[in-house]
Structure 1
C-alpha cells in the first residue's frame, strides 16, 4: 500500500507530507483548495507528463516521492528484473522536475519513465474524474470482461496472440507470391544479375583491407623512400657526423677511459649494445629500401580492384561480410521464385493450418468469455442495485469480428436499461455521467476481489450523485476498503463519514503567497469537516449533531459489514 506521499514546490504546494493508512483514506476540502494537485503529484511521480510551469513560482525544481510497502510477488519479481531490491517490501518512487528535464528514481536508482509506469501499474490503480468515460469504448469493455475472467482468459489470450502473430507473418510472406508470370521472370532475372555480379568479383575475406594498405604504400612510395634515405643518412655509418660514426667514436673514447677505471666497463657495455641496435636498425632500413619498388602497372591494377570492391559495397553492403550476406539473401529469393508454385503451395498449407489453430484458440477464448460474461452480468446487476439502480437490466452482447485480431474474434458491448419499460441499449446511448461513474464503481468493486493491486485511488468518482445514491456509493467504497487500501477525494459527506483515515486539504495565504497544505483530522475534527460539507459556511449545533450522527451510523454500518 501507499504509506507516504511527499510533495515539494509543486504548484500551490510549498511542502506537504502525508502518511496514509490501510482501508479507506478520505481527502476533503473546499473547492479550489488543491485536491486535484495532490492527485496530479501522484500521477507525476508515476511518469505522467507534467508541465514545467507546475514548478512553484520562484523555485527551480519540484519533487514528488511515494513510499510503498508491498507483498505483491509480481512487484518483487519486476524489481528483480530491473536489478533493484525492495528492502523489507519497501518501494520508493521519486521524480525531480526541473526547468529542462526530470529525473526518476526507484529505491534511489535512476530509471526511465517506462520502468516507473510498469511498476506503478502493479502498485496502484488511479480512477480519475473522467475515467468512467472509457466504459463507453468496446476495447475497455472487453478488457473488463477479461480481467473478470482472470488467468483462464489471460492464458487463452496469450495463445491467441501468439497464433495471430504467426498467422500474420505467414500471410505477409504469402503476399510476396502474388506475382504474375512476367513479373516473376523480371524479378528472377534481376536477382540472377546481382548474384552473378557478386560471384564474378570473387571477393575474398580481408581482401579490401590488404588492398587498401598496399595502395596506400604504393601511392606514397616516393615519399617513404626519401624519408628513409634521410633517416639512413642520419643514423648510418660513413658520413662524418652521422649517429653511427658518433657512437663509434664515443665507444672508442670510453674504452680507453675504462682501462684506468673498472667502474666504466658497465657504461662502455651499454654503449656497445646501443651501437649493435643501431647497426640492426640500419640493416632493416637498408633492406626495406632495397625492396621498395614502384610498379605503375601494379598500382593501376590495385586501384582498379579497389574501385570494383567499393562499387559493390555501394550497391550491396558496407563490408565484405554484408555483401556476402546480401548475396545469400538474394539466392534464397531466387530459389523461391524458381520453386514458386511449390513454395506458394507450402505457405498456403501452413496458413491454412495456422488459421485452423487460431480459429480454435479464438473459439476457446470466446467460450471462456461467454461463460464468465453471464457471471459478470449477474454481479454487475447486483452491484448496481446496491448503488440505487433499482430496476436495472444489464447484458453483455457478443458479435464476431470481420477478421481475426490479436484479441480473438469477439466484439463485446455492454448493454443497459436503467428504467422499467426501456429497451436495453448500449451504454453510450443511455446513461449520464453520474450513472457511468456508479457503473464503474460497481465494476471496480467486483474486480477488487480478483485484483492484486493493493492501492486504489478514486478522484471524485461521486460526481453527479447525491442523497440515497450517495449513501449507497459510500457503502460500496467501504466494502472495497476492506480488501484494498483506498484513497478517495470526495465532496460528499456520506462518503467522508466512512473514512478510516480522514485528511483535509486547505488553501491559505502565508506572507502574500498562496499555499496548499494537507493534514490528518482527529475524530472531532473529522466531524467538524463533515458539518462543513453538510452545512456550508455556517456550522450550527444542529449541523454538528447531524455530522456526528452520520459519523456514528457510518461506523455502525462498517462494523456490520465486517461481521
Structure 2
C-alpha cells in the first residue's frame, strides 16, 4: 500500500506531506483547490509526462516521493530482477524535475522510465478522470479479457507472439526472394560481384585500426625523425654534457674512487646498470629512426590499403565486421538463387508449418478467452447491478478476424442493455459518461478481487452520477477497500461519508502567491466537510444533521458487511 506522499514545488503546491492509511482514503475540496494536481503528481512520479509549467513559479525544481509497503511476491521478485534493494518490504520512489529534465530513483538507485513503470504497474492502479472513455474503443476490450485470463493466457500469448514473428520473418524472406527470371539473373550477377570484390580484399578484423595508427605514424615520419634526433643528441655520447657523456665521466670517476672506499662499489654497480640502460635506449632509438628512413614506400602501401578499406566501408558498412557480414549474407542468398525452385519450395513448406503453429496457438488462446469472457461478463454484470444498473444485461462477444496478429485472430466487443426489452448494443452507442464511469468501476472491482495490486486510485469516479446511484458507487468503493487500499477524489457526499480516512485539499493565498495544502480531518471536521458538499455556501443546522446521519449510516453499512 501507499504509506506516504510527499510533494514539493509541484504546480501550485508549495509542499505537502500526506500519510495515507489502509481502507478507503477520501480526498475532497473546493473546485480548483488542486485535487487533481495531487493525483497528477503521483502519475508524474510513476513515469508520467512532464508539462512545461510543472515546477512551481520561483522554484528551481519539483520533487515527488512515494513510499510504498508491499509483501507482494511479484513486486519483490521484480525488484530482484531489476537488481534494486528492498528492506522490510518498503519501496521509496522519487522523481526530481529540473529544467525539463528528471531523475527517477527507487530506494536510492537511479532507474530508467521503463523499470519505473514495471514496478509501478505492480504497486498501484490509477483511474484517471477520463480513463472510462477508453471503453469507447473496441481495441481495448481484448486487453481487458486477456488481463482477466492472464493465468491461463500469458504463456500462450508469449508463445504465439514468438511464432507469429517467426512467420512474418519467413514471409518477408519469401517476398524478398520471389522475383522474375531476369531479375534473379541480375541479382546473381550483382551478388557475385559484391562477394568477389570483398573476398579479394582479404580483410582482417582490426586491420583498419592498425593501419590508421600506422598511417598517422608514417605521415608524421619527418617530424618524428627530427624530434628523435634531438633526443639522441641529448642521450648519446657525441655531445659534451649529454646524458651518455656525463654517465661515462661518472663511471671513470667512480672507478678511481673505489680504491679508497669499498662501499663505493655499490654506487659503481648502479651507474654501470644505468649506463647499460642508456646504451640500450640509444641503440633502440637509432634502429627505430633508421626504419623511418624508408617510410615513403611503406606510407604509400599503407595509404593504398586504407583507401581500399574505406572504399569498401562506404559501399558495404561502417566496420570490417559489417563488410564480412555482407559476404555471408550474399553467399547465402546466392545459394538460394542458384537453387531457386528448391529454396522456394522449402521456404513455402516452412511458412505452411509456421502457419499451423500460429493457427493452433491462436485457437488455443481463443478458447481460453471465450471461457474467461463468459465468467468475466457475468461478474461485470453482478458488479453493475451493485452499482444501480437494475435491469442490466452485459455480454462479451468474440469474433474472428480473417487474418492473424501477434494476439491471434480474435476481436472483442463489449455489449450492454440498461433498459428492459432493449437489445444488446455496443458500449459506444449506449452508455453516457456517467454510465461509462460506473462500468469502469465495475470492471475495476472485478479485477480488484483477482489482481494482487494493493492500491487503487480513483480520480472523480463519480462523474455524472447522483442520488441512489451515488450511494451504490460509495458502497462498491467501500467494499473494494475491504481488501485493497483505495484513494479517491470525490465531489459527492455519499462517497465522502464512507471514508475510513478523510482529507481536505485547500487552496490558500496571501495576495502574492497561491498554494495548495492538504490535511487529515477528524470526525467532526469530516461531518462539516460533508455538510459543505451538501449545502454549498450556507451550512444550516439541518444540513449538518444530514451530514452526520450520512456518516452514521455509512458506519452501519460497513458493520453489516463485516
* TM-score above 0.5, yes or no: yes
Deviation at 1:404, TM superposition (A): 0.4
Structure-2 residue corresponding to 1:47 = 47
The answer to whether the Cα contact below 8 Å between 1:76 and 1:85 also exists between their aligned partners in 2 is no
Say which SS state the counterpart of residue 88 (structure 1) adopts.
coil
Distance 1:249 1:415, change over 3 A: closer
The answer to whether the Cα contact below 8 Å between 1:258 and 1:265 also exists between their aligned partners in 2 is yes
> CA deviation digits over 1:250-303, x for unaligned, max 9?
544443444445555444444444444444555555666777764977765565
Structure-2 residue corresponding to 1:129 = 129
Say which SS state the counterpart of residue 324 (structure 1) adopts.
helix
Distance 1:548 1:353, change over 3 A: same
Q: Pick which of 404-413 and 25-34 moved more.
A: 25-34
| Within-5 A mapping of 1:56-205 | 56-203=56-203
The answer to whether the Cα contact below 8 Å between 2:23 and 2:484 also exists between their aligned partners in 1 is yes
Structure-2 residue corresponding to 1:559 = 559
| Within-5 A mapping of 1:436-455 | 436-455=436-455
Distance 1:523 1:178, change over 3 A: same
Distance 1:303 1:420, change over 3 A: closer
The answer to whether the Cα contact below 8 Å between 2:132 and 2:436 also exists between their aligned partners in 1 is yes
> CA deviation digits over 1:23-65, x for unaligned, max 9?
1111111222221111111112112112242322222222211
Q: CA RMSD in A?
A: 2.8
Deviation at 1:9, TM superposition (A): 2.1
Say which SS state the counterpart of residue 143 (structure 1) adopts.
helix
Point out where structure 2 has 5 or more consecutive residues left out of the alignment: none
Say which SS state the counterpart of residue 377 (structure 2) adopts.
helix
> CA deviation digits over 1:173-217, x for unaligned, max 9?
221122111111111111111111223334456666676677777
Distance 1:59 1:210, change over 3 A: closer
The answer to whether the Cα contact below 8 Å between 2:141 and 2:413 also exists between their aligned partners in 1 is yes
Structure-2 residue corresponding to 1:490 = 490
Say which SS state the counterpart of residue 92 (structure 1) adopts.
strand
Say which SS state the counterpart of residue 498 (structure 1) adopts.
coil
Q: Structure 1 residue 514 and structure 2 residue 525: aligned? A: no
Deviation at 1:327, TM superposition (A): 1.8
Point out where structure 1 has 5 or more consecutive residues left out of the alignment: none
Deviation at 1:370, TM superposition (A): 1.5
Q: TM-score, normalised by structure 1?
A: 0.91
Deviation at 1:334, TM superposition (A): 1.1
Distance 1:517 1:183, change over 3 A: same
Inter-partner Cα distance in structure 2 for 1:218 and 1:57: 61
Structure-1 residue corresponding to 2:13 = 13
Distance 1:294 1:138, change over 3 A: same
Inter-partner Cα distance in structure 2 for 1:424 and 1:228: 94
Q: Give the total of aligned pairs.
A: 562
Between structure 1 and structure 2, the one with the greater Rg is 1
| Within-5 A mapping of 1:128-527 | 128-203=128-203, 247-262=247-262, 264-284=264-284, 294=294, 303-510=303-510, 512-527=512-527
Q: Pick which of 205-214 and 367-376 moved more.
A: 205-214
Deviation at 1:424, TM superposition (A): 2.0
Distance 1:93 1:247, change over 3 A: closer
Say which SS state the counterpart of residue 308 (structure 2) adopts.
helix
